[in-house]
Chain A
Amino acid sequence: MKRAKRLFRLANFRRLSQTVCFVLFLYLFFRMEFPPFGPAGEMEAFRIQTPVGLFFYLDPLLAVTTWIASREFLPVLLWSLVTILSAILLNRAFCGWVCPFGTLQQLLSAGKTARRRAVRSERWRWNAKRNLKYLVLAFFLAGSLLGLQQVGWLDPFSFLTRSMAVWVHPSMGLGLDGVVRLMDWIGWTTTGDTLIAGLRGVVVPFDSRFFLHAFCIGLTFGVVLALNRVETRFWCRYLCPLGAWLGVCAARAPLTLHKHADRCTRCNRCLQGCQGGDQPIPGEPWISSECHLCANCIDVCPENALEFRFRLARPVPAERRPLADLSRRAVLGAAVGGFVLAPLQAIGAENAERDRKVFKASDKLIRPPGARAEDDFLSRCVRCGACMKVCPTNALHPAAFEGGVSALWTPIVVPKIGYCDDRCTLCGQVCPTEAIRPTTLDDRLGRNGRAPIRLGLAYVDRNRCLPWAQAKPCIVCEEVCPTIQGQKAIKLVRDRVQAPDGRWIDVQKPVIDAAFCIGCGICENKCPIADRAAILVTCVGESRSVANQISLPGGQ
């Protein structure tokens, strides 16, 4: 009986919930992938049936900032009300029971030695620096008022998914590749074949893939994880704006930690396992907005001096101090900061489009198919990297400064590394905030009276192209160019040219028929000139822009 009671204690239910949610997160992450089952009809796009955006939909921070910044109500984000409700009733239980990033922090915080704990004994005590996360929240909320979605920097699901997609997942592929090549060397070739066949496209990338700026993103991730060795759940306590948002919601939660001060022997065990740093020990004020409801304090207390109680009566018990020490001045300051920095970032943007004119467009800001106009795009994109994870050709990469500071780590197409398949709509399917709109094959290919989605336009570099510059035959770009509305955008014109040795040679030279170019970049991708292709795609002519065009609408 006693053993059963020990098994069915609150902390164990919390562990179970964390395990389930973490595994679910991983499962959904790995299902952001080309679906293993074919489409219903063969002229339709391949669809991911799994709700891979679930954790994003449950994220109230993402919901509020997206709604405000985009000035549009995206209904699917209403799921986040569930999370809000949980915070109103159960404090930050979401952080302790559900959040997969929190679970990861907790795992990496575990196992500090007793000596280390003793050295850092003051870590259990509340300190005002933990208010930083509320200031981060105020900063992001204020920025969203001006139409800039910046929350992706530190939103836990965006942060985790981006780091996994760009850094962890490709590294897993490289790791498996290394192991299998070692097995090849030993002579276990068939085992290696089986491993690759079974795991690729499931838990490792289908083909080995690389991402621009993966190192910066990986380093950021590594630092955040390493901070757990400095202090338990450093991210959750100091940085996480979602935690702050839930903390605000939890300020008047009816759930309280009731302390029997008379039973306490000051053994301090409750402090050692505490995840949120909310001062569970009797005699100190308990900080409700920091409590993750991990129940470790109750679990370890040998005197049963602690218990959770629902208390609907007001006023708040004397020993809890919601949102401790948060000064109005600091919050206002952060909000003003967010307000001021938003336009400052936008001024740095290289693709600002105002009043139907482009200012200093960067030609390499090629957005994924279905991406909204740049301002609208930046008001939604949370830089979660889901599109980069799902992209089957490794075409999507985190941007550096092609779109200015405000577009850092948002997705761009880099055709030299991967082309955009003309019959693929996966990135639009996984985008949680519809910064990349869901599209159909009719949209992409311009069927049934629609115009095809154009990402940009290809042009031939005649100084590098083999038939143009070296009198050598080559038609690879024309060969791979998809047929859009019945024609290829790359056409071959016959010509007789003189080779450097004086001989006259018949060649076919590629020329661009812009009316049929969708800017997919397969020509640049497959061009045999390996370093800088002789045919390049730039973003001019992209469907999403009014101004970034060559001709007037209707003209050719």
Chain B
Amino acid sequence: MSKRPFTTPWTRREVLEDLLVPAAAGIALAGLGGCGGGRELSADKRVGAPALDLVVVRNGEPDVLVREALAALGGMQRFIARGDRVVLKPNIGFNRVPEQAANTNPDVVRALAVAILNAGAKTVKIFDHSLYEARHCYARSGISKAVQDLGVELEFVDERKFVEMTLGGEWLKNWPIYRDVLEADKVINVPVAKQHSTARLSLGFKNLMGVIGGRREAFHQNIHTALADLGGFVRPTLTILDAYRILVRNGPQGGSLADAVLSRTLVAGVDMVAVDAFGCSLFDIDPAQMGFVVEASRRGIGRMDLAGLKTRTVEL
């Protein structure tokens, strides 16, 4: 660097050489440091299995259902450690009100967020990669209003935050996964139970389609394999199936109040396959006929033999 007093005017060349080149070099170094310092990203958020495989709570209001289900599983602090960064993943995919049962019930989401915070979590992030226009979905689902005073982060999906990951599935080899899911300590999956035309039902596995980017619409050409591939990679800490209202026709977004049935049920467990298998029974479907449940069970992602699971049913 040339030695010269600052009082004399600098030429363009001097500015370039003395200021911009070192600055650019610094930025480049910082960039290299940033690239090299990345830690191992994983989507496996499981903790040890509780005493019960499955908890089913019936005949309650949303917040009571959540409270009872968590109590039966041993409390939220069993899954959440103090200081955890937690992702809570409801379905906020559609521009529909809670009564239409297209999105997760806002009171269920709120009760869960409160429980996670009470368990000592540092941050709770809530988001969904909505299928309809996101701001409409977040507002009309009632979820943004339900959680606004809790101090949680309700985030709209930022397209640049999808990280290409190696899924190593049978069909999906690589797929972009949302960074917050990869960086979180725990992921709580809160689907709503709905009818769907290829998957037959949209439950816990289908809800994971909200943490991924890419051309999701191509999944439907081989939906069961795709869902099993995805569910084999993204392993939530806990799956809580909201069946307070279930959408029995015109899913997955509905739009008609006549298609939503009040079921007042909540299913919870750490095994997403078991939760989804039980979810089938709410629609009078044999889980053995659900392609993705069978496929996931075959791969050992979870268990679908409802009779063999330690289940507690709480009737309120």
Contact B221 A193 (CB under 8 A): no
Q: Which residue of A lies closest to B95 (CB)?
A: A423
Q: Is B197 an interface residue (CB 8 A)?
A: yes
Selected contact of A475 from candidates B155, B197, B218, CB within 8 Å: B197
Contact A479 B196 (CB under 8 A): yes
- Give Cα A421 to B34, complex, Å: 41
Q: Given A186-B27, A187-B35, A196 and B217 touching (CB < 8 A)? A: no
Q: Which of A185, A200, A483 has the most CB of B within 10 A?
A: A483
Q: Which residue of B lies closest to A472 (CB)?
A: B221
Stretch in B70-78, B114-122, B132-140 with 4+ CB within 8 Å of A:
B132-140
Chain B residues with CB below 8 A from A547, complex form: none
Chain B residues with CB below 8 A from A303, complex form: none
Chain B residues with CB below 8 A from A393, complex form: 133
Contact B139 A478 (CB under 8 A): no
Chain A 364-395, CB-CB to B under 8 Å as 1, else 0, gives 00000000000000000000000000001100
Contact A34 B136 (CB under 8 A): yes
Q: Is A181 an interface residue (CB 8 A)?
A: yes
Contact B156 A186 (CB under 8 A): no
Q: Given A34-B135, A528-B217, A197 and B155 touching (CB < 8 A)? A: yes
- Give Cα A472 to B161, complex, Å: 32
Contact B30 A528 (CB under 8 A): no
Q: Is B298 an interface residue (CB 8 A)?
A: no
Contact B220 A422 (CB under 8 A): no
Q: Is B22 an interface residue (CB 8 A)?
A: no
Q: Is A299 an interface residue (CB 8 A)?
A: no
Q: Is B261 an interface residue (CB 8 A)?
A: no
Contact B250 A200 (CB under 8 A): no
Chain A residues with CB below 8 A from B215, complex form: 528, 530
Contact B254 A197 (CB under 8 A): no
Chain A residues with CB below 8 A from B223, complex form: 473
Size of the chain A interface, CB-CB below 8 angstroms: 53
Contact A526 B217 (CB under 8 A): yes
Q: Is A127 an interface residue (CB 8 A)?
A: no
Interface residues of B in 40-79 (CB under 8 A from A): none
Contact A508 B255 (CB under 8 A): no
Q: Is A482 an interface residue (CB 8 A)?
A: yes
Q: Which residue of A lies closest to B215 (CB)?
A: A528
Q: How near does chain B come to A38, taking the closest CB pair, in angstroms? A: 5
Q: Is the interface of B mostly helix, strand, loop or mixed?
A: helix
- Give Cα A392 to B130, complex, Å: 13
Q: Is A42 an interface residue (CB 8 A)?
A: yes
Chain B residues with CB below 8 A from A200, complex form: 156, 158
Contact A480 B136 (CB under 8 A): no
Contact A196 B160 (CB under 8 A): yes
Chain A residues with CB below 8 A from B217, complex form: 476, 526-528
Contact A206 B198 (CB under 8 A): no
- Give Cα A42 to B34, complex, Å: 45
Chain A residues with CB below 8 A from B97, complex form: 42-43
Chain A residues with CB below 8 A from B161, complex form: 193
Q: How near does chain A come to B283, taking the closest CB pair, in angstroms? A: 17
Selected contact of B250 from candidates A185, A193, A487, CB within 8 Å: A487
Q: How near does chain A come to B117, taking the closest CB pair, in angstroms? A: 21
Q: Is A555 an interface residue (CB 8 A)?
A: no
Interface residues of B in 197-251 (CB under 8 A from A): 197-198, 215, 217-218, 220-223, 250-251
Q: Is B253 an interface residue (CB 8 A)?
A: yes
Contact A483 B256 (CB under 8 A): yes
Interface residues of A in 460-486 (CB under 8 A from B): 466, 472-476, 478-480, 482-486
Selected contact of A186 from candidates B31, B139, B197, CB within 8 Å: B31
Contact A476 B220 (CB under 8 A): yes
Q: Which residue of B lies closest to A208 (CB)?
A: B159
Contact A422 B135 (CB under 8 A): no
Q: Which residue of B lies closest to A201 (CB)?
A: B135
- Give Cα A474 to B145, complex, Å: 35
Q: Is A46 an interface residue (CB 8 A)?
A: yes
Q: Is A492 an interface residue (CB 8 A)?
A: yes
Q: List 8 A-B contacts (CB under 8 A).
A: A38-B144, A42-B97, A42-B140, A186-B31, A201-B156, A473-B223, A475-B198, A483-B253
Q: A445-B255, A476-B220 are in contact. List 9 more A-B contacts (CB 8 A).
A: A38-B145, A187-B30, A187-B37, A192-B160, A201-B135, A423-B136, A483-B253, A486-B250, A528-B220
The 4 closest A-B pairs by CB, nearest first: A187-B34, A483-B255, A475-B197, A528-B217
